[in-house]
Amino acid sequence: MERNKYRILHVIPNFFPGGAERLVVELMSAFDKTAFKVAAVSLYPRSGTILDREIYERGLEVFYLNKRLGFDIRMFKQLYDLFYSFKPDVVHTHLSVLRYALPPMLQCKIPVRVHTVHSIARNEIDRLGRIIHKYAFRFAGVVPVGISREVAETIKMIYGQEIQVPVVYNGVLTTKYFMKEKVKERKESNTTLIHVGSFKPAKNHRLLIDAFGLAIKECPDLRLWLVGDGPVLNDVRDHVKRKGLSDYVSFLGTRDDVPDLLAASDIFVLSSDWEGMPLAVIEAMAAGKPIIVTCVGAIPEMVKDGVEGLIVPPRNKEAIANAILRLALDPRLREQMGRAASRKAREAFDISRTAKAYEMLYVNLVEKKIKDI
């Protein structure tokens, strides 16, 4: 037992590809190993995802439970046993797991309980989850963390203005992306747009397809790559066919070579109706791509309009189309914004900064708990 180290245990539903899941993996790798003993719990079994493979390759410690679909009462006992044996100083929960993790955290008297809210609070969780989170944040000593100032404000709006909400910005391993950008070699004359993200309603892929259809009428050499998978994938495929854009839009699926795809593209575009602080935007910025994004969530905290990219109103296909054309027809502007985006990502959104911020939060909360005893 390494009791000279702070013992941190992250709890997350699974390691399917997603922003919160990716953040946990990157954080586990980035924490100071001399001061912190870090592990994670996946409620669901290992399923062979890209992140599961990365966890194995990096030698990270993850406990995979055997949760069934739907409500699974067995999780309370399995988490209790795990907390009891691991003896964490901090349990750090993500997404929807508090409904299972909160009772065993209280039973085991975990000293510090932290929960990161990864999206605007009203959309992060279902109604039952919001009831549990309200109790956890107001009465059970769980500290909510916002991934941006905007997210922190929505936490206060939903759960109470009196709640203290630390802000810790998301981060990525920026060197993984900007080193690729330096050695990029283009073999095509087309201007390639790329979207990286799950095929979920919040991402509003249909809006992007509509905007792309408008833009390509004036700039026929445009191409669009869609990276990811999800529940509305088939609907988006059908929409592309109906628009007659199948020759111009490529569905690339879930990929483990996103840095290479970003390096080979020209413009990153995100058409979301809502967001928290999307890692895909940080990755694209780190890769030196100019950004076209809707003005939702933490986007105004990440991207300065006209500097690192172009911010457009949500649900406005004409605004997105105009932004696409502005960048597609001006290579010098793309280069200028791409350089600014890469610089901003390295200075503000590297995973090392995120890890240090969480380390400081953990230490401060643990030390405060010790003083209060």
Q: Are 112 and 90 in contact (CB under 8 A)?
A: yes
> What residue ranges define each of the domains in the chain, with the CATH number in brackets?
6-171+350-372 (3.40.50.2000), 175-348 (3.40.50.2000)
Q: How confident is the model at residue 168 (pLDDT cuts 50, 70, 90)?
A: very high
Contacts of 277 (CB under 8 A, 6+ apart): 118, 147, 148, 151, 169, 170, 297, 298, 301, 302
Q: How confident is the model at residue 192 (pLDDT cuts 50, 70, 90)?
A: very high
Which tokens is 322 given? 């105009």
pLDDT score recorded for residue 69? 95
Per residue in 14-24, pLDDT (tens digit) is: 999 889 999 99
Arithmetic mean of pLDDT, 290-316: 97
How many Å apart are CA 116 and CA 101, to the nearest integer?
A: 14
pLDDT at position 180 over 70: no
pLDDT at position 246 over 80: yes
pLDDT score recorded for residue 183? 46
Contacts of 192 (CB under 8 A, 6+ apart): 222, 223, 224, 225, 264, 265, 266, 267
Arithmetic mean of pLDDT, 107-134: 95
pLDDT score recorded for residue 185? 47
pLDDT score recorded for residue 98? 97
Arithmetic mean of pLDDT, 173-193: 72
pTM to 2 decimal places: 0.91
Contacts of 3 (CB under 8 A, 6+ apart): none
Better pLDDT: 256 or 371: 256
pLDDT at position 139 over 80: yes
How many Å apart are CA 362 and CA 202, to the nearest integer?
A: 32
Arithmetic mean of pLDDT, 202-208: 97
